[in-house]
Amino acid sequence: MQNLTIQELAIVIAVEKIDPTLLTPEFLNMTQIVPSEWEVLGQPMRSYEGSQITYQQGVSIIAQPQRLSFVELIINKDAESIEVVKIAKSLVKILANLKFAGIGINFRGYLDFAGQEAAAQRFMFSHLLAVGDWQKIGTAPVQAGINLGYTFADKKLNLTINEATVQQTEQSAAPIILFSGNFDYELNAAENSADLAKLEQVLANWQQDMQLYRDVVEKFKQTDSVINFPAYSA
């Protein structure tokens, strides 16, 4: 069975209000939120509706009136070389006067079925779903998406499973099963100092969330009908 490839880590922080135009490459360099040697990819977007800066290192920082997003492509990166968590921590400290309402730790990963064009469909419709005539309606194979919610002692994981493709070359794409996981933590914007500490704790524990996400997805590769998850705590 294919190994899980974790493609993307995204951190989304909900705030009561922020001016997106504050996000500029100059601001991020001056405050040392991003390394000075990083180069911006393309033209940064800047407006009151939203601003976005993307770096050649595979990191994007996005500001909207009520959220900050930090996205990084993490394929073939070890935990120590992942930058987006450090960047989020630094920006939160600089903007500590904001009222934070929540934080989401999000992972996007996939099982690769390159060279097995029908295997992704079989995995979705024979391994994850019960076979039936409902799959045979229409002139093309039916497409499916599954939404699941897992509750643990101190957190919840929302997991979405979809068929998709990943571009391998300009001419070819491989079929995959995409697993999008979200850990959503609520904060109380009225008690900013306490929630700032909780926000920092969530960021510090991101690797625990990634391991839990990985453990859950790995269970889908098993053929056992009964799935038992271990108890996790931060």
- Provide DSSP, 105-167: EEEEEEEE-TT-TTHHHHIIIIIIS---GGGG-SSSPPP-EEEEEEE-SS-EEEEEEEEEEEE
C-alpha torsion sign, points 220, 222, 224, 229: negative
Token pair for 111:
């099982």
Query: Average pLDDT for residues 118-132, to the nearest whole number?
Result: 77
Higher-pLDDT residue of 5 and 143 is 5
Asked if residue 154 has pLDDT above 50, the reply is yes
Asked if residue 82 has pLDDT above 50, the reply is yes
Query: Average pLDDT for residues 196-222, to the nearest whole number?
Result: 91
Asked if residue 230 has pLDDT above 70, the reply is no
- Indicate the pLDDT class of residue 39, thresholds 50, 70 and 90: very high
Query: Do 20 and 64 contact (CB within 8 A), yes or no?
Result: yes
Amino acid letter for position 87: I
Provide the whole-model pTM: 0.86
Tell me the percentage of the chain whose pLDDT exceeds 70: 87
> What are the C-alpha distances in Å from 202 to residues 21, 26, 93, 103?
27, 28, 14, 8
Q: How far apart are CA 85 and CA 89, in angstroms?
A: 6
Longest dimension (CA), the chain: 61
Query: Average pLDDT for residues 68-90, to the nearest whole number?
Result: 95
Query: Average pLDDT for residues 36-54, to the nearest whole number?
Result: 95
Q: What phi and psi values does residue 199 have, to the nearest 5 degrees?
A: -60, -45
Query: Do 45 and 51 contact (CB within 8 A), yes or no?
Result: yes
Q: How far apart are CA 22 and CA 55, in angstroms?
A: 17
Query: Do 70 and 63 contact (CB within 8 A), yes or no?
Result: no
Q: Give pLDDT tens digits for 10-30.
A: 999 999 899 999 999 999 999
Asked if residue 118 has pLDDT above 90, the reply is no
pLDDT at 187: 84
Q: Where are the domains of the chain?
A: 4-16+103-219
* Interacting residues of 40 by C-beta distance below 8 A, sequence separation 6+: 25, 53, 54, 55, 56
